[in-house]
C-alpha cells in the first residue's frame, strides 16, 4: 500500500520517487541567423543607393503580418545576392518615413545605377527575385 510521508521513518529521506532523468532535446549547432542591413537615415539610404549598381529596399512595418512572413525569405535573398559595390539588399522601417511614397507594405523598391527603376507592393518574394535577377543581368 501507499505510505504517507508522515508514516515514513525519520531516517529515510522525504523525497518523491525517482524517475528516469529527462533527456534534453538534441540540437545541432547552427550559425546564428544574421539580420538584413537596415537603413537608419535618409543620408545612409542615399549613400547605399549611390554606391551600389543594384539596390533593393524592403519597406516594412514591425506591426505588418505579411512583412514578418516574408522576412526570412528576404533575408535569404540578401545572403544570396548582396555584394559590396554591386548589389545591396536592405530594409527600411516605414515608420521612419524615409520613403514617403509608400502605398502599402511590404513594398520593395528597386534601384539601378542610383535611379529608382521598379517597385513591387505586397508579399511577393518570387516576383522580387525575378526583378532582382533582371537588374543583375543588365550591364
Q: Which of 36, 38, 67, 87 is catalytic?
A: 67
- Residue 67 is a catalytic residue: yes
DSSP 8-65: S-TTS---PPP-PPPPPPP----PPPPPPEE--SHHHHHHHHHH-SEEEEEEE-TT-H
* Residue 32 DSSP class: P
The set of cell numbers assigned to 55 is 539596390
Q: Which of 36, 38, 64, 87 is catalytic?
A: 64
| Residue listed under C-alpha cell 548589389 | 87
Active site residues: 64, 67
Amino acid at each position: 500500500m501507499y505510505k504517507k510521508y508522515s508514516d515514513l521513518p525519520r531516517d529515510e529521506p522525504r523525497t518523491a520517487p525517482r524517475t528516469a532523468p529527462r533527456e534534453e532535446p538534441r540540437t545541432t549547432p547552427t550559425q546564428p541567423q544574421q539580420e538584413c542591413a537596415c537603413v537608419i537615415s535618409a543620408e545612409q539610404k542615399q549613400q547605399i543607393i549611390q554606391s551600389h549598381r543594384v539596390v533593393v529596399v524592403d519597406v516594412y512595418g514591425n506591426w505588418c503580418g505579411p512583412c514578418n512572413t516574408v522576412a526570412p525569405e528576404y533575408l535569404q535573398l540578401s545572403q544570396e545576392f548582396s555584394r559590396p559595390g554591386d548589389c545591396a539588399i536592405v530594409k527600411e522601417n516605414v515608420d521612419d518615413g524615409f520613403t514617403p511614397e509608400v502605398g502599402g507594405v511590404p513594398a520593395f523598391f528597386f534601384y539601378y545605377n542610383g535611379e529608382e527603376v521598379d517597385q513591387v507592393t505586397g508579399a511577393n518574394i518570387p516576383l522580387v527575385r525575378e526583378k532582382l535577377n533582371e537588374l543583375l543581368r543588365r550591364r
